[in-house]
Structure 1
Amino acid sequence: MESTISHLANILQSCISKKTHLTGRVVHAYVIRLGLFSNTFLSNRLIELYSKCGDINTAYRVFSKIPERSIYSWNAILGAYCKLTHVRDAYRLFVEMPERNVVSWNTMISTLVRSGYDREALNVYEMMIVEGFVPSHFSLASTISACGALLDLEHGRRSHGLVIKVGLERNLYVANALLCMYTKCDLIKDAIHIFEDISEPNEVTFTTMMGGLSQTDNKKEALETFRLMCKKGIHIDSVSLSSILGVCSKGGYEELGLYDQNDVFPCNVKGQQIHTLTIKLGFERDLHLSNSLLDMYAKNGDMDSAAKTFTNLAEVSVVSWNIMIAGYGKIYQSKKAVDYLQRMQISGFEPDEVTYINMLAACVRSGDIANGRQIFDSMSSPSLTSWNAILSGYIQNRDHKEAIKLFREMQFQYMEPDRTTLAIILSSCAGMGHLEAGKQVHAASQKVAFRNDIYIASGLIGVYSKCGKLEWAKHVFDNVPDLDIVCWNSMMVGFSLNSLDKEAFALFKQMQHTGLSPSQFSYATILSSCAKLPSLFQGRQVHAWIMKEGYVNDIFVGSALIDMYCKCGDVDDARQFFDMMRNKSTVTWNEMIHGYAQNGYGNEALCLYKDMICSGEKPDDITFVAVLTGCSHSGLVDAGVGIFNSMQQEYGVKPVLDHYTCIIDCLGRAGRLQEAEVILDNMPYKDDPVVWEVLLSSCRVHANVSLAKRAAKELLHLDPRNSAAYVLLANIYSSLGRWDDARFIRELMSEKQIPKDPGYSWSEYNDRIHNFTEKDNLPVVAEEVVLSDAV
């Protein structure tokens, strides 16, 4: 009988190896016929057979009829359920097991990890330790993988300690699992330590290390790791190549000179070279690797190479099309992206959610909001990401009204916003100064439990500040438990917007005392307050901080410094700093030209404007306001007229109200009132009171009564409460000795109760700001604000 059992066991083993299900069933029938169905050894083999052939129901029926089940029987049926990832049934069997061995624990833990039940796997592992079992390399590798997936560093380090205790630190599976865990937890130093201790690394080791270095932005080190992999002759598979292409997709690899003539593969690793290597190693038909190549080219903006690669692909997927659409979106070619979407549909591929999001992003980046909206409207049930994408498109186009309208539609469709949605829409509320909408968003943020979210708090501070509700903004600011730099900056901007510059200084000082380092935006904001006060002493203090913190070469901070020095009257220091700046933008040039203009240095403003043109920097509308102001203040009339005429003809900048005001002021100051009147009659901004006030002021200087009467009449028609019209006209009559007419105007002003705006001035003395008004006999001394004792 024993020989029969042994013979049947061998036949069943052959069936298991060859997965011959039908033959196995015949053998099973023969076992039953011989009355051997109660034999545990043969039943275990039958469970293995049916498990291997995927027939779990028959396997369990065999198991249930075994009169004396051994631990091997339990492990066999447990393994059968685990192999087919019937996790719940497997765990139920695991709990019912009368006894377990290391195989039982290993099988259950590894199955839970493979099925994504990482926390449950750790719980089973803890039970294993409590019951006194020493884990093997299988259970430890699975457990450490679970720790990496959960970013559970505490459990991971404990498992690492046990690895060392049981002497498995040299086991390659365990070492690779440790390496993977530390890279996922961004502990790159620990990962490098593990990597260096592995005596015989394989492709998994190198691929994991490259991925970890890339994830922590150590691109050079990642590329050098690939170089080492090539040099050691480690097998390079498609996963390794995909990993290194992921590094190349982040850019900057061209600068790395890693070439070594003795190496098997080129070591000046670039995306194109990896592409060549994929062909050399025969991976050109690997779809995943092909998509990695496309992604690398697209993320580096090389869409010509991406298009060639795409055309030559043996097989494409929806992912391939999505990469191409996203790539063209990145370089602002929405029409190309639309073309690929149409080709995708013609080729029989159904766009997925990622396709639509990529298309929306392409349209938003390209400013093509109309096409973006069409794509959005064509989506049957857009995701939250899609809503956020189209909303951000309206924000970028400054169409705040449509953004708020779409946000309300989003609420009607019961799509719950996230922090990104609320931050986007708060930007629109601030842009429009729409207080009621801001309050509604505030209420919505409380409803979805974003009460103390710093991004939303920053947006709310911006809305309330823009709408003049500074006490509300301060209330939001004071109730955020963990303020970040954005919230501090928003609050400082709020004070500055509401002309509370001393309070902005105090807040800047308070932020410093918390230990938070100011950002570029912090310095630009506080310099604006210095410029508005104006306070040269405080401005110099801020300049010292900027130099200390290393922001002196930042374009925005540098432009703000120039503006501060100019508005404080120190044009020489402004020009000295301007000349020292390594990089200059149009904003920088504009600030310096405007600084010269406002301080009466018209010739210098004109020369700097010409230098700007020669440098290749294109002037914008603000540049022309600045240089025309300089021409006006310094009597450079012909130069001003020439520049005004060149705006649209040479630079494509259409004159707006500010430009017309400047040129009318320029002509008026020079007494060329007839020319000014001709421009005024032909311009599209006759309904703005500013231009008439400027003309009236020039009439006073040149005693042109007839034109002054016209200007005053138009000004009072547009702005009946404007005191300037009465005062300027009265002054013209007084200067001509027409005292009765002057008295009549002043009496008319008094009769209509038009108050004259009081004059005031600022002065800085002994590091303090002094405020004078026309009625004061003594100065009112403002509070001194000291930024920091450490300066």
Structure 2
Amino acid sequence: MATKNKEIESYASLLKSCGESRDLAEGKSVVVCIARSKYRRNVYLANLTIEMYGKCGCLERAQHVFDALVAPNSHSWNILLTAYAQNGHIHEAMLLFERMAVRDAVSWTVMLKTLAQHGRIELAMLLFQKIPHKDQVAWNVLLSALCDSSNPLQAVDFFDKMPKKDSVSWNTMITLYARAGEINQAIDMFKGTPFRDTVSWNIVIESLAHHGMIAQAFEMFQKMPNPNVITWTILVTAYAQLGNMQQAHSLFEKMPCPNVVTWTVMVLGYSRVGNLSKARAMFDQMPQRNVIVWNILVTAYANRGHIREAEILFQKIPEKNVVSWTAMIAAHARNGAGMDAIRMFKLMDLEGLQPDKATFLTVLDQSIVYSDLGLGKLVHSTFANLGLEQDAGIGNALVEMYGKWGSVEEARCAFESTVTPDTATWNSLIGACAQSGHATEARELYRLMTLEGIPPNGLTFMAVLSTFSRVGLLDQARDQFVSIHSDFDQIPLLEHYQCMIDLLGRSGWLNFAAQLVDSMPFEADFVTCMALLFACRVHVDVTRGRDVAERAFQLDPENPMPYVVLSSIYSEYGAKRAVRSFRERCSGPRRHSKRPLVAR
């Protein structure tokens, strides 16, 4: 009998381990072994098999094992119910719950938690009313759900009506006030609880620290009877986030037994203030390290430009994760070593690690820098297979990438793959069309964007104005420029003025262009003056050209371009003597007064 129990417990231990590690392949192997053994009909092992499949997200197999049971017990029903609930299959969980002949406290609690965690507060309240014997757990589950909902007053009312309150109930309410920033109410609730435990103290201390009341948090800490490692870590973290590493280190040194989280906070704190030697010293002293602290130190070295040191550390990481690889890829990219970033990305792929959004965006940016369309398409196909193509951030990067390469059709496909394109996504596609000379399509996209209710911003207006400017549509550009304020209540940016000045000048409306320069709410900069000066050259306007060139010289005395353009204007006008005179004047003392650019 002892041997039999030992064998069953051995199988049970393996199933539990596979479930906890989410190792479906190994779990299936264990199930095969059980099926070939004399314990294939053991209900206890069957229940653990259902649980293992549930934790691995394999609900079809979990249901199959359950259906094969001749007489499933209450544990069988609750385990399958939990499997559906934990995997977010609310409808299936509710159907199973309705089929249950006997529902115990676990059944009701699982269903109540499921509805509450998925925001089905009204259904949760209805279910709560049906519970025949409401235990303290059920009351606390619904209270927690109401605190997390958008109606905290309902939670307060529910708390007041509770027939019995335990430490969980009180701590839930303290947390409610603390999260809302109602510190005084949180402290009042803390003072009023008959169950003032370590959790209560930690909630209040963390709330005070989070809201910048570090002195009050430290005062509470000193009054606390038995602070635990979480309490100490809260204070150390608070001081480290403020950059006060001296106080953080002082507390750290006094800690009875700092854990890996506290050590990591110290390494991160010193890294953020730029003290890499202290960060490395703390790292080297750590009794045990996780991948998070390795990544922090790699990133710290990379951010300070110490790429070689970062790479040496990176190679020593025992188990690199996607954050480790992305940190090194981003480090190379930031320091101008784009090819090394691309090399790291390819190595990451060979290692079999699945990149995340940050990895993709970094590599896409480098493919644009190096005009590597092949790499860009490779990256695109990789995350399309992973289902990340619909993300707005990635969609923006793809549209921008294809747009810069003039691949408008592919940019449009990337745009259409984005589930909820935002302003940036629309801007990228409008800009891509504008840069590729698809003026009509750019204008139509802008019209659709406003019809969709997507608010345009300065970049949108710039893309549309540039489109009109490229094809010389002055009237449409003028209407668009005016609408920035009249229709969208936004103030045109300097770049918008420059675009209009350039278009007015090239269209022969030099006087209006000059008036626009003088009426701007900004001081005309060098770029603005040059836009008008180039227009003067096109129309050989010597008088205005001289005034604009002098203003440009005042703004950037070291730049020869105004002199070159003005010389060209004089040359075309045939005024060679004027060229020599202007040269002499430019070499003498310069005046810095602003003169109107409108011809008198």
TM-score by length of 2: 0.71
- The 8 Å contact of residues 245 and 296 in structure 1, kept in 2 or not, is answered as no
> For 2:530, which of 683, 691, 697 is the aligned residue?
697
Q: Which residue of 1 aligns with 2:517?
A: 676
- The 8 Å contact of residues 427 and 463 in structure 1, kept in 2 or not, is answered as no
Q: Which residue of 1 aligns with 2:542?
A: none
Q: Which residue of 2 aligns with 1:727?
A: 561
> For 2:2, which of 134, 141, 147 is the aligned residue?
134
- The 8 Å contact of residues 116 and 145 in structure 2, kept in 1 or not, is answered as yes
- The 8 Å contact of residues 12 and 45 in structure 2, kept in 1 or not, is answered as no
- The 8 Å contact of residues 119 and 149 in structure 2, kept in 1 or not, is answered as no
Q: Distance in 2 between matches of 1:594 and 1:316?
A: 60
Q: Which residue of 2 aligns with 1:560?
A: 397
Shift of 1:574: 1.8
CA pair 744-457 structure 1, distance change in 2 beyond 3 A = farther
CA pair 733-504 structure 1, distance change in 2 beyond 3 A = same
The answer as to 2:294 corresponding to 1:441 is no
Shift of 1:405: 1.0
Q: Distance in 2 between matches of 1:605 and 1:217?
A: 42
SS in 2 for 1:413: helix
- The 8 Å contact of residues 81 and 97 in structure 2, kept in 1 or not, is answered as yes
> For 1:645, which of 472, 481, 485 is the aligned residue?
485
Please give the residue correspondences for 1:245-644 in structure 2 after superposition, counting only pairs within 5 Å. Answer: 245-251=112-118, 270-278=123-131, 281-283=132-134, 286-299=135-148, 303=152, 306-324=155-173, 326=175, 334-335=180-181, 338=183, 341=186, 344-345=189-190, 347-348=192-193, 354-355=199-200, 370=211, 376=217, 379-380=220-221, 403=241, 405-414=243-252, 416=258, 418=260, 422=264, 436-438=274-276, 440-449=278-287, 453-579=290-416, 581-599=418-436, 604-605=441-442, 607-620=444-457, 622-624=459-461, 626-627=463-464, 630=467, 637-639=477-479, 641-644=481-484
Q: Distance in 1 between matches of 2:58 and 2:326?
A: 33
Please give the residue correspondences for 1:165-180 in structure 2 after superposition, counting only pairs within 5 Å. Answer: none
- The 8 Å contact of residues 364 and 401 in structure 2, kept in 1 or not, is answered as yes
Shift of 1:701: 0.8
- The 8 Å contact of residues 632 and 667 in structure 1, kept in 2 or not, is answered as no
Q: Which residue of 1 aligns with 2:108?
A: 241
Q: Distance in 1 between matches of 2:339 and 2:193?
A: 65
* Cα-Cα RMSD: 5.1
SS in 2 for 1:272: helix
1:211-263 deviations in Å (ceiling 9; x for gaps): 4554566655554543332xx2x2x3434322332333332879xxxxxxxxx
Shift of 1:715: 3.7
- The 8 Å contact of residues 54 and 62 in structure 2, kept in 1 or not, is answered as no
CA pair 517-569 structure 1, distance change in 2 beyond 3 A = same
Shift of 1:449: 4.8
Shift of 1:567: 1.1
1:42-82 deviations in Å (ceiling 9; x for gaps): xxxxxxxxxxxxxxxxxxxxxxxxxxxxxxxxxxxxxxxxx
The code of the aligned residue for 2:332 comes to F
- The 8 Å contact of residues 532 and 567 in structure 1, kept in 2 or not, is answered as no
SS in 1 for 2:109: helix
Q: Which residue of 1 aligns with 2:500?
A: 666
Q: Distance in 1 between matches of 2:350 and 2:13?
A: 43
Q: Distance in 2 between matches of 1:639 and 1:363?
A: 53
Q: Distance in 2 between matches of 1:298 and 1:417?
A: 31
The code of the aligned residue for 1:642 comes to V
1:78-131 deviations in Å (ceiling 9; x for gaps): xxxxxxxxxxxxxxxxxxxxxxxxxxxxxxxxxxxxxxxxxxxxxxxxxxxxxx
- The 8 Å contact of residues 128 and 138 in structure 2, kept in 1 or not, is answered as no
SS in 1 for 2:354: coil
CA pair 345-298 structure 1, distance change in 2 beyond 3 A = closer
Q: Which structure 1 residue ranges, 5 or more long, are not aligned?
A: 1-132, 255-268, 395-401, 717-722, 749-791
CA pair 500-203 structure 1, distance change in 2 beyond 3 A = same
The code of the aligned residue for 2:186 comes to L
- The 8 Å contact of residues 328 and 362 in structure 1, kept in 2 or not, is answered as no
TM-score by length of 1: 0.56
- The 8 Å contact of residues 183 and 191 in structure 1, kept in 2 or not, is answered as yes
Q: Distance in 1 between matches of 2:304 and 2:351?
A: 28
CA pair 506-622 structure 1, distance change in 2 beyond 3 A = same
Q: Distance in 2 between matches of 1:144 and 1:700?
A: 84
SS in 2 for 1:249: helix
Shift of 1:614: 2.1
Q: Distance in 2 between matches of 1:602 and 1:464?
A: 46
- The 8 Å contact of residues 322 and 354 in structure 1, kept in 2 or not, is answered as yes
Shift of 1:484: 1.9
The code of the aligned residue for 1:608 comes to L
The code of the aligned residue for 1:694 comes to V
Q: Distance in 1 between matches of 2:329 and 2:207?
A: 35
Give the % identical residues.
Answer: 21
- The 8 Å contact of residues 294 and 306 in structure 1, kept in 2 or not, is answered as yes
Q: Which residue of 1 aligns with 2:553?
A: 712
Please give the residue correspondences for 1:767-786 in structure 2 after superposition, counting only pairs within 5 Å. Answer: none
Please give the residue correspondences for 1:221-240 in structure 2 after superposition, counting only pairs within 5 Å. Answer: 222-229=93-100, 232=101, 234=102, 236-240=103-107
Q: Which residue of 1 aligns with 2:539?
A: none
Q: Which residue of 1 aligns with 2:591?
A: none
CA pair 358-746 structure 1, distance change in 2 beyond 3 A = farther
Please give the residue correspondences for 1:178-257 in structure 2 after superposition, counting only pairs within 5 Å. Answer: 202-211=73-82, 214-215=85-86, 222-229=93-100, 232=101, 234=102, 236-251=103-118
Q: Which structure 2 residue ranges, 5 or more long, are not aligned?
A: 506-512, 537-544, 572-577, 589-600
Larger Rg: 1
The code of the aligned residue for 1:287 comes to Q
- The 8 Å contact of residues 442 and 467 in structure 2, kept in 1 or not, is answered as yes
Q: Distance in 1 between matches of 2:429 and 2:174?
A: 42
Shift of 1:562: 0.3
The code of the aligned residue for 1:535 comes to D
- The 8 Å contact of residues 442 and 460 in structure 1, kept in 2 or not, is answered as yes
Q: What is the total number of aligned residue pairs between the two structures?
A: 545
Shift of 1:291: 0.2
CA pair 440-424 structure 1, distance change in 2 beyond 3 A = closer
CA pair 463-363 structure 1, distance change in 2 beyond 3 A = same
- The 8 Å contact of residues 640 and 666 in structure 1, kept in 2 or not, is answered as no
- The 8 Å contact of residues 430 and 463 in structure 2, kept in 1 or not, is answered as yes
1:569-612 deviations in Å (ceiling 9; x for gaps): 22343234424544212221222233345456666545533432
The code of the aligned residue for 1:447 comes to Q
CA pair 622-491 structure 1, distance change in 2 beyond 3 A = farther
